[in-house]
Amino acid sequence: MASHVGGGPIRFGAFELDTTSGELRKRGVKVNLPQQAFRVLHALVERPGEVVSRGELQLRVWPDRTFVEFETGINKCVSQVRSLLGDTGAASRFIETLPKRGYRFVAPVHVEPSTPRTSGVVVLPFENLTGDATWSFVAEGVTDLITTALGEAGALRVIARTSARACAAADKGIAAVGRELLVSLAIEGAVVQLDAGTCLTVRIVDTVSERILWQRKYESGKDQVFTLCERIVADVGAKLQGSDDGAPGGRRLNGAATTAAQLAYLKGRYLWNRRSESDLLASLEEFRRALALEPDFALGHTGVAAANILLGIWGLLPSHTAFRMARHAAERALALNDGLAEAHTCIGEVLKDYDYEWERAELAYRHALTLNPSYSTAHHFLAQLLTSLGRHDEAIASMEAARSVDPLSPAINAYVPYIFLAARQYARAVSEGEAAVQLDPHSPAAHWQLGRACLFAGNEPRALDMLNATVAVGGRMPMFLAVLGFARARAGDTAGAQAILAELSERARTSYVSPYDFAVIYAGLGHTDAALRYLEHAYRDRVMRIISLGDPEFDDLRREPRFVALARQLRLPAATLRPL
């Protein structure tokens, strides 16, 4: 196989080795690798498929030969690289050891051109230059609406706002943004307050050369700022397609809605994306506030649907309550605007999580993606459905599609280890969980899924550490406590598991606790009858997480006739639930 002799970044799996900057990135996120270990990895990936001797590595890492304990040093470097790549299983995915000979890089390698340009664009958060902090939500709103409208146009891959916001918060330059998000174009802008109204400035920048390709200024009255977005979207869309004449965009931006209603919706959407219990409840209040200001605001109804869906998924509301409210809100949104990918995605969630109508749910998600190919949430939720149906390769592809447009999203990255855990790829689940925690150390979902991955990979002490961290970061949500109780039981701490069971039982006297969470703990304790009884209860209550019956927490129940009957009632494919 030909050696690498220059050029751009070297890609393998989820990783990118940038030989110019001396950085290793995982899906656009820089990971810390000591300099000597970086040199070892560089030496291996530039000669994929070839044996690289330990002597060659010595010269590469310590060219002046001043390091006398190089045998120990090489071993340490290779160990560091393998640990970071998640290459710790019995079968090497990246680095093969050849005793007494050296090492060989065995994964497929792709070398990018020296100036990579991909058909993607990121809309960076517009700056608020009004001097009035309350106008920050106007800047946020303009950013959001332009991002969504360009995504619906479908001409380019459009990075989601969560990843764009993360890059902006890190104060990265345009070139660095392009490298991390793998886009060739960036849209920047600002909101400026004038005596007579508002001015929006917009420009398109080449992320490789950092050259401004196009810029324009738009002025309007203060209450017409969102109406301007339609003009901006048309003009920007035309320029991206190589035309000088703007064409009407596909999205109806609800220009008739009040600015206050628009801002309430956008604040709600931001809170919804943070994925904590308190933020989720706060997002629902913002969506309701938007509808109080503008009852026919379609996106506001979509927000109410999306918030209720997560409340139902997490077991914070009874499923009958949460999903019926979600269905009503999503149907109202579609009656007002049937072109909203967000609303069709919500309908898909109700069909999947409450009705168990797998085929119709898949059609709803795929229709949403025809409306907006860059809508990461639709890719994400489709992956959940495919996982439940045992279509693991398709699920992984859907999650990669979600990450391609939202690579820095904590919510999406936290779900990736779940996909691999469901496929029983434990080592990959652990490495993806570690990456998710590194991306956002404050994400309870990332700690939760890493804890689950470690547990089923056989590392019970680390699993307990991660699951305790989940509760510390995310609070004592029943679904977090349930898996912690399961892990305690499997680690031999029966008293600790029973303490959590008692806590949830007491809580259930005054507030809702999903029967699914009790089933998880009883499964961990080995109480088969109780676990099955609560799973049957969860099915009667239409609890969303019952569609995850194939999760490893219930592997010991798969031979039970009641479990088999339950799977048949759900119409889940038999192959996904047969005894392991």
Q: Which of 420, 416, 360 is nearest to 571 (CA)?
A: 360
- pLDDT score at 375: 92
Q: Does the structure show a pLDDT above 80 at 405?
A: yes
Partner residues linked to 23 by β-bridges: 18
Q: How confident is the model over 87-108, as a mean pLDDT?
A: 82
Alpha-carbon span 111 to 109, nearest angstrom = 7
3-state secondary structure 193-227: EECCEEEEEEEEEECCCCCEEEEEEEEECHHHHHH
Q: Does the structure show a pLDDT above 90 at 46?
A: no
Summarize pLDDT for 316-362 with one digit per residue, the tens: 888 899 999 999 999 999 999 999 999 999 999 999 999 999 999 99
- pLDDT score at 67: 53
Query: Who contacts 335 (Cβ-Cβ below 8 Å, separation ≥6)?
Result: none
Q: How confident is the model over 239-254, as a mean pLDDT?
A: 56
- pLDDT score at 90: 64
- pLDDT score at 132: 81
Alpha-carbon span 447 to 387, nearest angstrom = 20
Partner residues linked to 51 by β-bridges: 104
Please give the single-letter amino acid code of residue 504: L
Structure confidence at residue 575 as a pLDDT band (50, 70, 90): low
Partner residues linked to 10 by β-bridges: 17, 111
Helix axes 259-274, 277-293, angle to 10 degrees: 160
* CATH classification (class only), 10-111: mainly alpha
Q: What's the token pair of residue 403?
A: 């990450």
Please name the helix (run of DSSP H) or strand (run of DSSP E) that holds residue 307, with its range, or none.
helix 298-313
Q: How confident is the model over 366-375, as a mean pLDDT?
A: 93
Measured CA distances, 22 to 8, 19, 36, 76 (Å): 12, 5, 11, 19
Q: Does the structure show a pLDDT above 80 at 141?
A: no
DSSP per-residue string spanning 244-288 = SS----S----TTS-HHHHHHHHHHHHHHHH--HHHHHHHHHHHH
Question: Helix or strand or coil: residue 12?
Answer: strand
Alpha-carbon span 438 to 421, nearest angstrom = 19
Partner residues linked to 276 by β-bridges: none
**Phi, psi (degrees; rounded to nearest 5) at 194:** -110, 165
Summarize pLDDT for 53-83 with one digit per residue, the tens: 888 888 877 766 555 577 788 888 898 898 8
Q: Do the Cβ atoms of 278 and 285 come closer than 8 Å?
A: no
Question: Helix or strand or coil: residue 116?
Answer: coil
Q: Does the structure show a pLDDT above 50 at 183?
A: yes
Q: Which of 461, 399, 402 is nearest to 425 (CA)?
A: 399
Alpha-carbon span 186 to 212, nearest angstrom = 10
To the question of domain 120-253 being in CATH 3.40.190.10, the answer is no
Q: How confident is the model over 87-114, as a mean pLDDT?
A: 78
- pLDDT score at 4: 42
Summarize pLDDT for 118-138 with one digit per residue, the tens: 668 999 989 888 888 767 777
Summarize pLDDT for 493-546 with one digit per residue, the tens: 999 999 999 999 999 999 989 999 999 999 999 999 999 999 999 999 898 889
Alpha-carbon span 420 to 13, nearest angstrom = 15
Domain locations in the chain as residue ranges: 10-111, 120-253, 481-580
- pLDDT score at 501: 97
The percentage of the chain sitting over the pLDDT mark of 70, rounded to a whole number, equals: 89
Q: Do the Cβ atoms of 212 and 300 come closer than 8 Å?
A: no
Summarize pLDDT for 437-469 with one digit per residue, the tens: 988 899 999 999 999 999 999 999 999 999 999
Least confident of 149-163, 200-214, 281-295: 149-163
